[in-house]
Structures are given as structure tokens and as C-alpha cells.
Amino acid sequence: MKLNVNGAERSFDSVHTAADLLEKLEIRRERVAVMLNNEVLRRANLDATPLKDGDIVEVITMVGGG
């Protein structure tokens, strides 16, 4: 499956959901916000949100500091 992730086209095997993608990218879901085709996904729905070829995904990392 080809996805556009943070502006770059990437190919993935065995990625079916938004949660699968985060796992493949080795990103902890607690520290990011995910947008799929310009819509923010609820963290609770990542396991149930299917991805399809050509989707645009933005993974936004939370940064703390002061």
C-alpha cells in the first residue's frame, strides 16, 4: 500500500489501520496527533480507522517545553 506520510510517499506491507501505521513507524500513539485526509482522528479510534492506498496521513508530534 502506498501512503503519503508527512509529505512523502511511502510503501507499506501489512498496514491496515492508523494504529498499524504508527506501530510500523515505531511511534507511540500517546505522543502524537494523527490526521487522515485532512481530518483529525480520535486516539481512541486509531485501531478501527482503516487506511487505503493513496491516503494522506500527517503524524504530528507533541513537543513539551517551556
Structural domain boundaries in the chain: 2-61
Domain at 2-61, CATH class:
alpha beta
What residues pair up with 11 in beta bridges, in sequence order?
Answer: 2
Kindly report, residue by residue over 13-62, the tens digit of the pLDDT: 999 999 999 999 999 998 899 999 999 999 999 999 999 999 999 999 87
Distance of CA 22 to the CA centre of its chain: 6
Residue of 11, 53, 63 whose CA lies nearest to 33: 63
SS (H, E, C) 11-52: ECCCCCEHHHHHHHCCCCHHHEEEEECCEECCHHHHHHCECC
Q: Quick one: pLDDT at residue 54?
A: 97
The model carries a pTM of 0.89
Cell numbers 513537543 label which residue?
Answer: 63
